[in-house]
Amino acid sequence: MSAPTDPTPSAPEGLKRTLPIFSLEGKTCVVTGGARGLGYVMSQAFISSGANVAIVDLNGAEAITSAKTLQETYTLTNPTLPAPKVTAHTCDVSDPTSVSATFQKILESHPSGIDVLVTSAGFTENYKAEEYPHDRIQKLWGVNVDGTYLCAVEVAKEWIKSKKQGGSIIMVGSMSGSAVNVPQPQAPYNASKAAVRQLAASFAIEWAEHGIRVNCISPGYMMTALTKKIIDEQPELYNNWVSRIPAGRMGNPVDLMGAVVYLASDASSYVTGADLRIDGGYTVI
Ligand SMILES: NC(=O)c1ccc[n+]([C@@H]2O[C@H](COP(=O)([O-])OP(=O)(O)OC[C@H]3O[C@@H](n4cnc5c(N)ncnc54)[C@H](O)[C@@H]3O)[C@@H](O)[C@H]2O)c1
């Protein structure tokens, strides 16, 4: 007598089943700061979920290399599936003229329109408050706050004009928008991320009537080039940071993949104005 067949065979590796509402099939996602770090990994998550991606970054050369790598890696690992379209766009998100020209170019490259915007371009610096050069504060707020504002407004204007429903904007804030990191002094960065969280909430209310959702994700300490540079310069910081994280480790950028796909997809169609903290529990103690 032959053995009974398993009634629930598992799906082949790489094709694990999930709810179809998580799919981003056919959508186009714009990711600022997508040439590296968290933006790059979130772009990877979008491509794996069926989306096309436009990478927007100040570092145009790195954006081109990253777009190529993302596309080639996907095609290599999924040879039977259609290749995603991944484009690279050089842009300074703190400059209104550059932002406006870039979104025009994105629409030319992706004529079916933009469905999702992630604002990940941003940076941090450590200076004592009383020693922080004023021009550096303005530069930081220009990228982290104005850059987020300008890109969000640019895409919302397009969606309102075209009466698109269901666009999703995901702003990358930080746990620093809710808690003061120690021991490193970074008051303007913390203020910039509190501003990002409040921009997401405010835009969510203003644009709800247009069917536009706006949410914020607030990562804790994630291991990227940005944090690696800080740890390399001050190696004692690593143990200090980790000792304060209930999860006992720094985050890996892949820890953001599920959250960003959720907020980009129809799975979160009733979620707007939210701040999703992904910080290993840092901000609840
Ligand atoms: N890494 C972390 O621990 C962490 C934690 C919380 C929040 N964040 C936030 O996540 C975002 C991404 O951080 P990351 O760690 O990936 O940094 P990263 O430095 O690795 O990547 C940032 C990207 O933004 C681009 N960029 C910088 N200025 C720009 C500008 N003016 N216009 C367009 N692009 C610009 C850079 O070229 C770079 O590719 C930032 O907003 C950061 O504040 C990071």
Q: Please tell me the predicted confidence (pLDDT) of residue 14.
A: 62
Instruction: Name residue 86's amino acid.
Output: V
Instruction: Write out the residue range of the structural domain in which residue 231 sits.
Output: 22-284
104 C-alpha to center of ligand 1: Å? 23
Would you say 86 and 71 are in contact if contact means Cβ atoms under 8 Å apart?
Answer: yes
Q: What is the pLDDT of residues 121-134, one digit of tens each?
A: 999 999 999 999 99
The count of domains in the chain is 1
Residue 92 included in any domain: yes
Would you say 118 and 172 are in contact if contact means Cβ atoms under 8 Å apart?
Answer: yes
CATH number at residue 125: 3.40.50.720
110 C-alpha to center of ligand 1: Å? 24
Q: How far apart are CA 134 and CA 126, in angstroms?
A: 13
Residue 42 included in any domain: yes
Instruction: Decide if 189 is catalytic.
Output: yes
Residue 2 included in any domain: no
Nearest atom, ligand 1, residue 38 CA? 16
Q: Please tell me the predicted confidence (pLDDT) of residue 173.
A: 98
Instruction: Decide if 174 is catalytic.
Output: yes
Residue 5 included in any domain: no
Residue 1 has pLDDT above 60, yes or no: no
What is the pTM for the complete model shown? 0.96
Instruction: Decide if 112 is catalytic.
Output: no
Q: Which of 74, 149, 189, 221 is an active site residue?
A: 189
Residue 262 included in any domain: yes
256 C-alpha to center of ligand 1: Å? 14
Helices and strands of the chain, counted as H and E runs:
9, 7
User: DSSP state, 211?
Assistant: T
Q: What is the pLDDT of residues 87-122, one digit of tens each?
A: 999 999 999 999 999 999 999 999 999 999 999 999
68 C-alpha to center of ligand 1: Å? 20
Cis peptide preceding 12, ω within 30 of 0: no
Residue 191 included in any domain: yes
Residue 6 has pLDDT above 80, yes or no: no
Would you say 174 and 219 are in contact if contact means Cβ atoms under 8 Å apart?
Answer: yes
Residue in this structure with the two tokens 């145009």, named with its chain if needed: 60
| Segment (H or E) for 241 | helix 236-243
Residue 110 included in any domain: yes
Residue 99 included in any domain: yes
Q: What is the pLDDT of residues 197-237, one digit of tens each?
A: 999 999 999 999 999 999 999 999 999 988 898 899 888 99
Q: Which of 193, 262, 265, 268 is an active site residue?
A: 193
Residue 4 has pLDDT above 60, yes or no: no
CB of 90 shorter than 6 A to ligand 1: no
Would you say 171 and 215 are in contact if contact means Cβ atoms under 8 Å apart?
Answer: yes
Give percent of the chain above pLDDT 90: 90
